[in-house]
Amino acid sequence: MQMEKHYTLLKSAELLGVTTQTLRNWDKAGKIRTIRTPGNQRRIPESEIVRLLNYASEETVTPKQEPQRIIADNDTDNQIVHESVESTANENIVEENAETLAPLILKNKDAYLLMCKDEAVYDITQDIVLNEGLLPGCLLKETMNYEQWMETRYCRDSNFSAQRLLYQAFGSYDLEHAKQATGALSLSDCYWIKKYDEEIMFDDVTPYIHKEWDGLSADGVQNDYIWGSLSNLFVSGKTDKRWLDAQTLLKVDTFAEYEPYKLCLILGLENTAEAYLTNEGLILNNFTSPDYFYESMEQFGIEDDDIDPRDIFIEKYGETAAALFVVDYLVENNDRHTDDFGFLRSSSTGDYTSMAPYYNFDWVWSGTATPLPEAAWHGYRGYIHAICRNAIKAARDFEYGTIIERRATELLRG
């Protein structure tokens, strides 16, 4: 028996001529049948699309029509896009759908494009999606707009290394200027921006291949260098950190954070980033590449604010995800935000290929421990207890071993 097709929220909105928010409202009100993927994303069965289109054809409406962006056709040059219209009268569905939309040729030379490697993903200037599969998850789910997503990639003011570099390069702290001049290149993902008519490729600019620009021209004169990479400016988080090269991230004057990585290795938790100490601070080896980039849970996008994002993660990755939150408890890392764990994605297909390695234990030995998510206890209680028993055995080898032993004992009572 052939399985029924299911459509994303964005594609369903396109077919029905409504917004994704309207579909979310209908779902909450029970007006449309949806299913949830293992990643907790809504999918709408084809039969529901047909039912609603048939219902719309029986209604007589005079809707107010407004432009709505939708996905471009998958042509070779990514030049063909469409316009749709949305009904705002009584939330009725208009009859216009993807088969009746008129083409619009995209040839705006001043347009800025969001690229994933050499694939145009999104027309920033005209707010047009060009490749749905490679979009950041939050843009696909429309839980963030482009500017909000870009904010998640900027360094924080407390990253002094990046701030000094920004001032050296541009004589100011103008992040918007830096984004345009450098293409917002990063070593966390394969996204970057360029103008529509610029003949330049990912390999020409990526810091995976080229030495990062330090803000100065070859003769030592400060200048407004175009297409140099300043990925230090696009490292999220509050810690002072900088890339030494394409494989090496230095967290300046960070030392206590090493013990969680050491604990993970002793416990046999293989999904852990490689880390070691130097006189300058903690070194992390890059776990991304031009083929597989990182997307945080924040950038993935959470559609329901009432759901613990850690539960979504555990549902998807099982005990591998649960172990991360157990280690957080044992080392009192009480600041595991959604920008501190996430996924590895294929830069060619956009597929979510695996959970990213454990990293970022910035707030260790805080004096408080964040309770484990319910999903961890429900599915992996025995595994949690096994980790804790092993942690107690290993605690004597750690500077903060008494804390590890006490926190493990607490979890064994759970």
Q: Is the pLDDT of residue 275 over 80?
A: yes
CATH number at 95 reads 1.10.1660.10
**pLDDT average, residue stretch 111-125:** 93
Same-domain check for residues 138 and 46: no
Higher per-residue confidence, 385 vs 95: 385
Answer yes or no: is 335 within a domain: yes
> Is 277 contained in some domain?
no
* φ and ψ at residue 161, rounded to 5 degrees: -60, -45
Do 96 and 144 have their domain in common?
A: no
Q: Is a pLDDT exceeding 80 seen at residue 363?
A: yes
Residue 88 maps to a domain: yes
Same domain (yes/no): 55, 182: no
Whether 76 is covered by a domain: the verdict is: no
Number of domains in the chain: 3
**Within-domain flag for 265:** no
With beta carbons less than 8 A apart as the criterion, state whether 138 and 144 touch: yes
Structural domain of 114: 108-243
In the prediction, which pLDDT does 182 show?
Answer: 84
Residue 190 has pLDDT above 90, yes or no: yes
pLDDT grade, residue 155 (50/70/90)? confident
Give yes or no: residues 91 and 134 share one domain.
no
Report how far residue 35's alpha carbon sits from residue 58's, in angstroms, rounded to the nearest whole number: 26
Q: Residue 137: its pLDDT value, please?
A: 95
Candidates 121, 140, 18; CA nearest to 74 is 121
Quote the longest CA-to-CA distance of the chain.
76
pTM here?
0.74
Here the tokens at position 250 are 């230095």
Regarding whether 356 and 317 lie in a shared domain, the answer is yes
Mean per-residue pLDDT, 147-172: 85
Q: How many helices and strands, by DSSP H and E, does the chain display?
A: 14, 18
Q: What is the CA radius of gyration of the chain?
A: 24
